[in-house]
Amino acid sequence: MCKTRKLTAMNHPYVDLEKTLLWNTVNAAITDLRKNQDVKLTTTRQHVVGYICKQLFEKNLLTPQAVAKK
């Protein structure tokens, strides 16, 4: 499921995870952290969210619902 793609100008290597509950949850958490000024992103949000999602997936820390496409 968590296959990475070659990076092009229009996408990022985590596109396969974008429409998942996991992606939405991690993205919302990062939004909260940024609003509270707890973190400052120095790279694209998609790469940060994607990397966190990929790490959780690879370590088998997810339920099937978390990575199911909406």
Which of 24, 27, 30, 5 has its CA nearest to residue 16?
5
**CB 16 within 8 Å of CB 68:** no
Q: The whole model's pTM is what? A: 0.81
User: CA 14 to CA 10: how far, in whole Å?
Assistant: 12
Please check whether residue 22 is in contact with residue 66, taking contact to mean a CB–CB distance below 8 angstroms. Answer: yes
Name the token pair of 38.
Answer: 């707890």
User: Which tens digit of pLDDT belongs to each residue from 3-58?
Assistant: 555 544 457 899 999 999 999 999 999 999 999 999 999 999 999 999 999 999 99
